């Protein structure tokens, strides 16, 4: 998984990426380091996170964080800030699907609660914990990972879609609450991206996206990284409360 040469420079900006050990999270980590940022990877995939941090060198550090555990979220964020002496950016990327291929009447309450705990409660608590550090930086940035599935109402994915719709709504409320502290909060809503976490997706769903995109090729992680880097940069300081679909025109606002 490669990071394209960035057009955006993030010299020494300190950024925490949750769920950064694989998939889109890994792509964000690589692109951030390539752009000059200092990055904290957090994940529950400890061996992969440690290996990625070791590969990327002194600009990268790994902190364990289970987004379903409120205590672990708070401790992980504060450990990340302590490592670099502060934070300018938070990418709330960690998420689980768990409801793919099931009708809504087939979902269990346990599955629903687990998805909401990781995908909605986790980013809320991570942002709360990060707020003092982001505010102290004078140019704090939060980027939440949503999904275009919540924009077009993907079927047989109810818990995940609902959680990502909540992330979009939460992004707008966070932006209003945190703006006075100089913190921007935005969301990126990728389409179906070719990563490890989407390998379970059936061919029919891939075909549906292929037929509906304005840009007809498959979506890859590098298609999403530039938008995230921009929203973490100083240049995005007057952009907040926005949801940016990055999906080749499958959904258009």
**Burial (CB count within 10 angstroms: exposed 0-12, middle 13-18, buried 19+), residue 201:** middle
Q: Residues 6 or more apart from 128 whose CB is under 8 A from it?
A: none
Do residues 101 and 93 lie in contact, with contact meaning Cβ atoms separated by under 8 Å?
no
Q: Residue 231 and residue 224: Cα distance in Å, rounded? A: 11
Q: Which of 62, 160, 208, 238 is catalytic?
A: 160
CA distances from 214 to 36, 142, 171 (A): 33, 29, 27
User: Does the annotation mark 238 as catalytic?
Assistant: no
Measured CA to CA, the distance from residue 137 to residue 233 in angstroms comes to 13
What separation, in Å, do the N-terminal and C-terminal C-alpha atoms of the chain show?
A: 30
Question: Active-site positions?
Answer: 160
């Amino acid at each position: 998984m490669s990071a394209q040469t960035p057009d955006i420079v993030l010299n020494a900006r300190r950024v925490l990426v949750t769920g950064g050990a694989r998939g889109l999270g890994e792509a964000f980590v690589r692109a951030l380091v390539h752009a000059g940022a200092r990055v904290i990877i957090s994940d529950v995939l400890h061996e992969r996170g440690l290996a990625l941090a070791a590969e990327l060198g002194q600009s990268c550090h790994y902190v364990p964080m289970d987004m379903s555990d409120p205590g672990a979220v708070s401790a992980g964020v504060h450990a990340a800030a302590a490592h670099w002496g502060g934070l300018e950016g938070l990418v709330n990327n960690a998420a689980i699907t768990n409801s793919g291929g099931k009708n809504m009447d087939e979902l269990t309450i346990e599955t629903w609660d687990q998805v909401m705990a990781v995908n909605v409660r986790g980013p809320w608590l991570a942002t709360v914990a990060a707020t003092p550090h982001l505010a102290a930086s004078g140019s704090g940035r939060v980027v939440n990972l949503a999904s275009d599935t919540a924009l077009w109402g993907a079927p047989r994915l109810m818990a995940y879609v609902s959680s990502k719709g909540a992330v979009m709504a939460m992004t707008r409320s966070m932006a209003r609450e945190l703006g006075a502290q100089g913190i921007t909060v935005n969301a990126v809503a990728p389409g179906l991206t070719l990563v490890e976490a989407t390998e379970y997706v059936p061919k029919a769903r891939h075909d549906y996206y292929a037929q509906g995109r304005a840009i007809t090729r498959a979506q890859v992680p590098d298609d999403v990284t530039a938008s995230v880097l921009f929203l973490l940069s100083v240049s995005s300081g007057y952009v907040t409360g926005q949801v940016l679909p990055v999906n080749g025109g499958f959904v258009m606002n």
